[in-house]
Structure 1
Amino acid sequence: MHFGRVQRSRNFWQHTHAMPAAFYSASTGIDPVDNVIKKVLHNGYCHHIERLMILGNFMLLCEIDPNSVYRWFMELFIDAYDWVMVPNVYGMSQFADGGSITTKPYISSSHYVRKMSNYSQGSWCEIWDALYWRFIDKHRAFFLQNPRMAVMVSQCDRLGSKLTAHLDAAERYLEILHY
């Protein structure tokens, strides 16, 4: 019980954005995210992998405050109990506790989402990948210290001018999403 209270008070990445309205209306413009949100709005539930690797992953890449993420899950999910949502949100999907129960953040590019689902490549991939590479670049010092993620910083460095394009696309998307 005590650890949950400590875990719930953490914000490792210092994310401060409120939950965008698009996450309540399934209008993020990202097909996998919007499809899962529609499922949640209809059923009050989605599979754990959809929670973690689609919703949580994307919310982390969008730098949403973990308390807002927690509130969103508590409002919309039928199994919204602290014992479920505190470790799922603060520990796993948002890495807000800094790794108390996981060894790395659960983030991925669109490639993982496509590989593990039936989603086709589309314009959503450009935004997802832009957010992913922005997150890797922004937190490169952290990722270089993590043996499981250091290779992603090396890949980021090899992107060259593509990185600049990703960073610009990510900033444009976040500006629209958060305002």
Structure 2
Amino acid sequence: MADAQAASSDHEHFSSIPWCSAHLKRPGIIMGTPACRSPKANGEDSLMAETLTQTKTIVAFLEFYEEPPSPTDRVDLIKAFLTLGSGLNGHADVCHGGIVSTILDEITGLLIPINQQRGFMPEIPYFTAYLNTTFLRPVPTCTTILAQAKIIKVEGRKYFAEGWIEDSDRTILARAEVLYVAVKSAL
């Protein structure tokens, strides 16, 4: 998870929103700003860490999940709150579909570093092999959404997940099926 100051600021932001606060107050919740929000020297994550951190894009982003019973158990479900600004509009007050797909790619991808840190997945890069997005309803901007992802299965170098975006009423707005593939080691 990214730097403590950003995590604290994002936590304060979402704690001030009643429906978000209810999720964050549950016992056993681990939360923080996703690592993708921290700029890296090699340019990795620059889309989420730089381009989409403006006051009109993704204003705040906080990931959270329940602590598994054992430190070596896999984290199979992660959630994240995102507050979306008008700079993401495709239509008036509606998030651009490409950004919706980007959010779904990011939320499902967040399960990888968490599980790598816990020793469940190898510390090698994973890349999106496919992302099939279904748009069910418009994703509004100038509001906060809940994005969730869960691992469906892991087969060797393949990691299958699904993600979805909900509004404050728990209405699912968009969903995605995703396949990540780990990079083969050099021969």
Q: Which has the larger strand fraction?
A: 2
Normalising by structure 2, what TM-score? 0.27
Q: Which has the larger helix fraction?
A: 1
